[in-house]
Amino acid sequence: MDNESQAAIAERNRLYDLAIIPAGVALNLAAALTVTAAKIPLFLDAIGTLSVVLLSRAPGRDPMWAAMFVGVFSFVIIAIFQNPTIIWFSHVQAAIAVYAFYILRPVVRRAEADSKFGIGWWAKIVAIGIGLGLVAALLSAPVAALLFSGITPNGPGAVVALLLASGQNLYKAVITGGLSIEPVDKSLQTIAAVLLYLSSPWKTRAAVK
């Protein structure tokens, strides 16, 4: 009887783990929609990806695969219904999932276990966000240069245009432009994802069980 109820709980947890994936996709889309509607010059397109990495309790590397799916699939949906050119940046979402799984998740989980969320810890989260921004800027640069000639529909297009006008070569301008916006954008997203994780109902459920 006891075994049976444990099996039922395990099955329910597995279903919850699957259920947060579509919620992550929807959060990515909602954040992107909100930023566009509010006319804020940021991407905010990976909060769902980061939140799923933090929230998923699946074993092994499954949270990473789940987050990768969330990131890539939300770009596929945006590509189908809004802007088809965004699909070429899907690899950045995959990299965000890997980075968040190996670097962000352990830091958050350790702090949660020790219940230590001091200023030093938040500084570490910001530093992780800046690192994520560097990764995103470097990975998106080749696509931005080769496909878009440096001028992407959103993000650092204006900065790149100014740098090109000032005489910098294309690749330098694209990388510098990316580095000027991505670290800010990604550290904001990392902070947002951590805050969402710390306030999410999943934690309440885990505590109740």
Partner 1 sequence: MSPSAGAITIVPEPYPEARLGSWLLVIVGAMIATEVPLLFLGWVALLAALATARQFRRHVAFILIVLLPLAVVLIVVWWGFVGAPPGMPRGSAPMLGLHHALRTTLRLGIIAAVSQLMFLTIQPETIWPAARRLGLRGQPLSVVLASFALGASMTRVVDQTVATLKARGAIRPNRFSTRVFAVPILLANIWNRLLADQFQRVELKWAPQRTLQRVERIQESVQWSVCHSFVAILIALAWLFVCALSKFYG
In the complex, the residues that contact partner 1 under the rule CB under 8 A are: 11-12, 15-16, 18-23, 25-27, 29-31, 33-35, 37-40, 44, 47, 51, 69, 73, 77, 79-85, 87, 147-151, 153, 157, 161, 164-165, 167, 169-170, 192, 195-196, 199-202, 205
Which CB atom, from 1 or from 81, has the smaller least distance to partner 1? 81
Residue-wise over 9-23: b if at least 16 C-beta within 10 A, else e? eeeeeeebbeebbeb
Token pair listed for 5 = 């109820």
Nearer Cβ to partner 1 (134/191): 191
For partner 1, which is the closer residue by CB, 8 or 123? 8
Kindly state the smallest distance separating residue 209's Cβ from partner 1, in Å.
13
Tokens 């000639």 appear where? 149
Q: Nearer Cβ to partner 1, position 58 or 111? A: 58
Written as one string, the DSSP assignment of 140-183 is HHHHHHHTTTT--SSSTHHHHHHHHHTT--HHHHHHHHHHHHHH
How many other C-beta atoms are found inside a 10 Å radius of the C-beta of residue 101?
23
